[in-house]
């Protein structure tokens, strides 16, 4: 009598649960912005960056940090507002990546920061 192995492929639906908050929400170039990211997963690394060209990507030269804090759902970091940046509204973005699984779950959270003259 042989053993039959049955492999079931079940679709996975992932829901992003989390948020980003910044303080302050506006200021001049050169200011420091404190960023807090709340996640449900305690083992994800978060890339947090000031998106100077608002393209949604962490480009070379944009201030940012990769934050890994195990066993907590809160990630905190600080960013500086680039010197010489034009007044206007910019995105501060937190992107997660779960490379521990084959699913590669990625979440993005965005907060608006206004540069004033």
- pLDDT category, 7, cuts 50, 70, 90? very low
Q: What is the pLDDT of residue 12?
A: 41
In the predicted model, is pLDDT for residue 69 greater than 60? yes
Inter-residue contact 18 to 37 (CB < 8 Å): yes
pLDDT at 15: 46
Asked if the model's pLDDT at residue 42 lies above 70, the reply is no
How high does pLDDT run on average in the chain? 82
Q: What is the mean pLDDT of residues 15-21?
A: 75
Mean pLDDT confidence for 78-95: 95
Mean pLDDT of 83-112: 82
Separation CA 30–CA 82 (nearest Å) = 6
Domain residue ranges of the chain, discontinuous segments joined by +: 18-115
If one counts every other C-beta atom within 10 angstroms of the C-beta of residue 21, the result is 13
CATH fold of 18-115: Immunoglobulin-like (2.60.40)
pTM: 0.79
Owner of token pair 């829901």: 15
* 1/26: higher pLDDT: 26
Residues 6+ apart with CB under 8 A from 81: 27, 28, 29, 30, 31, 32, 33, 50, 63, 113, 115
């Amino acid at each position: 009598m042989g053993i039959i192995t049955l492999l079931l492929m079940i679709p996975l639906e992932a829901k992003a649960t989390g948020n980003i908050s910044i303080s302050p929400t506006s200021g001049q170039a050169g200011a420091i912005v404190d960023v807090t990211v709340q996640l449900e997963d305690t083992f994800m690394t978060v890339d947090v960056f000031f998106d100077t060209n608002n393209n949604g990507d962490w480009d070379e030269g944009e201030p940012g940090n990769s934050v890994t804090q195990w066993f907590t759902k809160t990630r905190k970091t600080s960013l500086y507002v680039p010197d010489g940046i034009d007044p206007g509204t910019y995105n501060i973005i937190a992107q997660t990546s779960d490379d521990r699984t084959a699913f590669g779950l990625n979440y993005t959270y965005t907060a608006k920061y206004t540069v004033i003259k």
